[in-house]
A and B are shown apart, each in its own frame.
Chain A
Amino acid sequence: MKYIDEFRDGAVAQGIAANIAAAVEPQRRYSFMEFCGGHTHAISRYGLSDLLPPNVRMVHGPGCPVCVLPIGRVDLAINLALSRDVILCTYGDTLRVPASNGLSLMKAKARGGDIRMVYSTLDALQVARDNPQREVVFFAIGFETTTPPTALAIQQAQQEQLANFSVLCCHVLTPAAITQILESPEVRQWGTVPIDGFIGPAHVSTVIGSQPYEFFAEEYRKPVVIAGFEPLDVMQAILMLVRQVNEGRAEVENEFARAVTREGNLKAQDRVAEVFELRREFEWRGLGIVPYSALQIRERYAAFDAERRFDLVYASVSDNKACECGAILRGVKRPQDCKIFGTVCTPENPIGSCMVSSEGACAAHYSYGRYKDMN
């Protein structure tokens, strides 16, 4: 597979690993946060930590849209399916997220909720066309990568006058989350979570471009290297971060230059701006209430806003007391620090969302790396 296989070459990986080992200053400790869930997954799946020198540590960030979805939002979706008799279309990843009353979308489906997994908004639109006498709601989650397709779906629905289609919008924004992390007491004041730099998300950046990260580099003096998804991309990005730290630079560098430009995809950005506007605040699992961090549907498209159509009221629900997803999402704790990791909370019986999504830090560690915790 072109542009994939070459970026997974094991021999080249050894070369980059040697470069990193040569570049790190032996007495210095490096700590980098990879923001994006896809990177968390790649690091675990390819065992990249094994190839890094011991003084380089990767901290997992909150870039997994399923992981940061608060229970209250999943409850809204479940409620629509069970009590309002809608056909609820969702991406597969949300199906097993534990919500209130011991339910998840998967369990709600078992109780009779008409919940359908789709791979694309295109499928959801088709469900609406095929079922004109039913209300169809698309559960829209995701960062900036996934938002443009939702915008298009809403515009398409308006064009076709698809009156039974609406969207439950839970789209969230990357820069806001990064700010929240950098402003958190653990990072800013206490230094308990040292972060020397960020690996910037791959596909979010194809949409928003590299420019939005320049703010973090300047304001917080943290280097950002945008990296592609393949393991060699991630390794090269780590090398570039090490060099920036050594040289005292704090710049935005683009390792994923083959797909990311400074401006990003302007057409996609325009479509998103046409359909969505910023919410004043939005609750994130783990990060709490974050200002201007999420999107809602504009008045012009109000007819397709499930929250308005069904008069939905968001109720905040706390996580299970034992669940450390919040701390893990902020990089304050690692999955293995959570008391219920691997015992009460497993992929079969997840307590928190970090264990549900394949990009979640807990799921990734459990599936690929937990042998390292054992002795």
Chain B
Amino acid sequence: MCLALPVKVVEVGPGDAAVVDLGGVRKQISLALLDGVQVGDYVILHVGYALSRLDPEEAQKTLALFSELDQSRLAA
């Protein structure tokens, strides 16, 4: 139920309608809960609506964080 996925916006309009792509699968969704979404943006999709925009820079930072060695391991 809490199915929410990051998907790429490939078409915008008419109105709040949009088409998104996940791994080669396309789906029609609504952008009514967001403003200023553009083709190429990634959004979080939940029950047919985009809920939030995904920030690619933050995504990279998070991934980098995962690979950091914990201080205590460096000391050991």
Are chains A and B touching in the complex at the 8 Å CB cutoff? yes
- State A56–B72 Cα separation when bound (angstroms): 17
Q: How far is the CB of B49 from chain A (nearest CB, A)?
A: 5
A203 and B51 contact, CB distance less than 8 A: yes
Q: How far is the CB of B47 from chain A (nearest CB, A)?
A: 5
Q: Which residues of A (241-277) have their CB < 8 Å from a CB of B?
A: 255-260, 265, 267-268, 271
- State A20–B30 Cα separation when bound (angstroms): 40
Of the stretches A127-135, A143-151, A185-193, A333-341, the one at the interface is: A143-151
B47 and A119 contact, CB distance less than 8 A: yes
In the A-B complex, the 4 residue pairs with the smallest Cβ-Cβ separation, listed nearest first, are A120-B48, A19-B70, A206-B52, A3-B6
Please pick, from B23, B47, B52, B58, the residue contacting A146 in the complex, using a CB distance under 8 A: B47
Please pick, from B30, B32, B44, B70, the residue contacting A203 in the complex, using a CB distance under 8 A: B44
A268 and B33 contact, CB distance less than 8 A: yes
B33 and A145 contact, CB distance less than 8 A: no
Residues of chain B with a CB closer than 8 A to A66's CB: 1
On whether A259 and B54 interact (CB within 8 A), knowing A2-B8, A152-B32, the answer reads yes
- Does B39 make an interface contact (CB < 8 A)? no
15 more contacts with CB within 8 A, not counting A2-B8, A265-B52, A267-B34, are A3-B42, A6-B63, A15-B66, A38-B4, A65-B1, A145-B2, A145-B51, A152-B49, A202-B2, A236-B65, A257-B61, A259-B44, A259-B53, A265-B51, A267-B33
- Number of residues on chain A facing chain B (CB within 8 A): 57
Shortest Cβ distance from B53 into A: residue: A259
8 A/B residue pairs, CB under 8 Å, sorted by A: A22-B72, A36-B2, A92-B1, A203-B46, A206-B4, A206-B52, A228-B62, A267-B35
Please pick, from A22, A149, A268, A359, the residue contacting B48 in the complex, using a CB distance under 8 A: A149
Residues of chain A with a CB closer than 8 A to B55's CB: 257-259
Q: How far is the CB of B73 from chain A (nearest CB, A)?
A: 4
- State A255–B4 Cα separation when bound (angstroms): 17
Q: How far is the CB of A177 from chain B (nearest CB, A)?
A: 14
Please pick, from B5, B42, B48, the residue contacting A122 in the complex, using a CB distance under 8 A: B48
Per-residue CB proximity of A310-341 to B under 8 Å, as 1/0? 00000000000000000000000000000000
Shortest Cβ distance from A156 into B: residue: B32
Q: Give the interface size class of chain B.
A: 35 or more
- State A16–B69 Cα separation when bound (angstroms): 8
B58 and A93 contact, CB distance less than 8 A: no
Q: How far is the CB of A235 from chain B (nearest CB, A)?
A: 8
Q: Which residues of A (178-234) have their CB < 8 Å from a CB of B?
A: 202-203, 206-207, 228-229, 232-233
- State A236–B70 Cα separation when bound (angstroms): 11
B46 and A257 contact, CB distance less than 8 A: no
Q: Which residues of B (1-50) have their CB < 8 Å from a CB of A?
A: 1-2, 4-6, 8, 22-23, 30, 32-35, 42, 44, 46-49
B66 and A18 contact, CB distance less than 8 A: no
Residues of chain B with a CB closer than 8 A to A115's CB: none
- Does A154 make an interface contact (CB < 8 A)? no
- State A93–B1 Cα separation when bound (angstroms): 7
- State A23–B70 Cα separation when bound (angstroms): 7
Please pick, from B33, B48, B73, the residue contacting A119 in the complex, using a CB distance under 8 A: B48
Q: How far is the CB of A85 from chain B (nearest CB, A)?
A: 26
- State A236–B61 Cα separation when bound (angstroms): 13
B52 and A260 contact, CB distance less than 8 A: yes
